[in-house]
A and B are shown apart, each in its own frame.
Chain A
Amino acid sequence: MHPVRKQRLIIVGSVVVFSSIAIGLAAYALRGNINLFYPPVDVMAGLAPVDRPIRVGGMVVDGSVERSSETLEVRFLVTDYEAVVPVVYVGILPDLFAEGEGAVAAGTLNADGVLQATEVLAKHDENYMPPEVADALEASARRKQEASL
């Protein structure tokens, strides 16, 4: 390779490397702001601000969803399996919102540590399968559980 081109190759390489390092450091410094939501364990540890809009994300605890019989109010618990945050929301939940599935609630934490949500989003996982396969998996899991009992 021609020495001039070799020199240009080195310059091009260092432009890519150094700009990547610079942006990587910036992203690392801003990592708290890039996260879309706080996990419940951070909320419990007091890392999430109170009286300021935040998002809390995690799994909706099985059996925790309580719907009011008169209004659209819904109460549920969000967990990351280390801590639990109670959420109160008045409004219509997305179709995919379900117990045992992921959800992200936006709102403010009150003094009691309850998130007064103004928006609830459903978070789905990376599994895609036809309903028959899901049924078959569930049935085999049930069989395995029965066998172990």
Chain B
Amino acid sequence: MWTLFHKFGSPPWLYRLSGSILRWLLPISLLALAMGVGWGLLFTAPDFRQGNSYRIIYIHVPAAVVALAGYYVMAIAGGISLIWKMKMADVAMHAAAPVGAALTFIALLTGAVWGKPTWGTWWVWDARITSMLILLFLYLGVMALYEAFDNKAAAARACAILSLVGTVNIPIIYKSVDWWYSLHQPASIKFTGESTIDPSMLYPLLLSIIAFYALFTCCLLANMRAEILQRERRTGWVQRLASENH
């Protein structure tokens, strides 16, 4: 187990592994995304109260779910980077931030678009929207902090601490609708007990969520590969790789 863990610290090994994962995961995730979102947007029944406007759920919820999960990916990579001083963990942490920020932004934007016809407002300072905005700032903060240092090791240490401290926001976002009075309704998909979304609407939603997870993984790996090449550009294996492709 530990040898496998230490293998992840090897840039050429990780570069090759991520390349072979991307080769099959990227087409699958794009297919799943087209199927899940297409199914949800085109073929499900309209909602009994919201009509067709509820269909934005097929973008809004998956983006928000994966934005939260992506933060844990970033924070855990940050923790590994602090404890084991593993450069590839820094790379993973730095690669997760822009993808997570993009997903958070999509969730906020689609939420505003959805809020206007249903609630009657684009924006309201309810607990969930506010904590989601904080999540966006945490992601942007990690990205900005990383660029603020010339020394990559110091940058990674600062970003790792920021992302670890920020993890407290994730359960707050998740439970905000239960802990405080908010405009958001409680969760429809339940891990225990029956979900309050009709199965005909739930299945395309679950497929979209899986597709967003897969797409997040693809973006993360692609970002990491680019940074690995950038960091290792003076090493033998990258130069051999470059000369092979020419």
Contacts and interface: CB of A to CB of B under 8 A. Distances in A.
Contacts, number: 125
A94 B120 contact: yes
B164 A128 contact: no
A13 to B, nearest CB: 9
Q: Name the prevailing secondary structure of the B interface residues.
A: loop
Interface in B40-66: 44-50, 54, 57
Contact of A130 (B48, B84, B120, B180): B48
Interface residues of B, number: 43
Interface stretch (B11-19, B184-192, B216-224, B229-237): B184-192
Contact of B47 (A20, A36, A128): A128
B180 A31 contact: yes
B147 interface: no
Contact of A36 (B50, B54, B120, B181): B181
A23 B134 CA distance: 13
Interface of B: 44-50, 54, 57, 79, 82-84, 117-121, 124-127, 161, 164-165, 167-169, 172, 179-183, 185-188, 196-198, 200-201
A129 B120 contact: no
Interface stretch (A45-53, A67-75, A107-115, A119-127): A119-127
B164 A12 contact: yes
Contacts of B186: 126
By DSSP majority rule, is chain A's interface helix, strand, loop, or mixed? mixed
Nearest to A22: B168
B127 A119 contact: no
